[in-house]
Amino acid sequence: MEAHPLRLATLADVPAITALIGLSARGLCLSDYTAAQIEAALGTAWGCDSELIRDGTYFVAEANGDLIASGGWGRRKTMFGGDARPGRQSEFLDPACDAARIRAFFVHPDWARHGLARAMLNRCESEAMANGFKAAELMATLTGQRFYSKLGYHGSEIVEYSVGNGETIRFIPMRRSFDSTSEISASPQ
């Protein structure tokens, strides 16, 4: 049995997920982004997407009653961003021709490198495959890129997004085909 079994997030978890995202970004992203970039991104690009929770595709792990990791997958077009980010794309993807989204992975700094993100990714990919998807795509932080590249995701083009307060952050679109023989590059946004 998993040491920290995943459970589906509920809307009651939103405050704790939001707090976890702040701790994770401030604790684990400082070698890739400045403090000003992180604070600006936390208002928009990084945040809890309650649509994922309502869709039943967002997971959390706990230790001693506290959230230590959260992450999920998306069956809708939105590629990244919390509730506060404008430009949501809530249209459903078509598993026959679209890639599922991997969304909003955040691990508590005290629990980094304990395999929590790997466990969440395995769960997300299994569910996406069970729902007919043939590939997954995501918008990786520079921090996340090191993780996803170890787990079969490809992509190296750097894209820059405005996150407010005059700040931008760099992301890397990444993709993994569940059929490794038909790997193609991440689609442009």
Ligand X SMILES: CC(C)(COP(=O)(O)OP(=O)(O)OC[C@H]1O[C@@H](n2cnc3c(N)ncnc32)[C@H](O)[C@@H]1OP(=O)(O)O)[C@@H](O)C(=O)NCCC(=O)NCCS
Residues that bind ligand X (CB under 6 A): 24-25, 28-29, 105-107, 112-118, 140-141, 143-144, 146-147, 150
Among residues 152 and 164, whose Cβ is nearest to ligand X? 152
Which pair of structure tokens corresponds to residue 101?
Answer: 């989204």
User: Do residues 143 and 32 touch, judged by C-beta distance below 8 A?
Assistant: yes
- What is the number of the residue whose Cβ is closest to ligand X? 144
Given the complex with ligand X, which of 37 and 94 has the nearer CB atom?
37
Least distance from ligand X to the Cβ atom of residue 56, Å: 21
Nearest distance in Å: CB 149, ligand X: 8
Smallest separation (angstroms) from ligand X to the CB of 10: 21
Q: Which CB, 93 or 121, lies closer to ligand X?
A: 121
Tokens encoding 64: 């001693």
Our CA angle for 97, 50, 61, nearest 5°, is: 95
132 burial (CB, 10 Å; 0-12 / 13-18 / 19+) is: exposed
Q: Which amino acid is at 80?
A: F
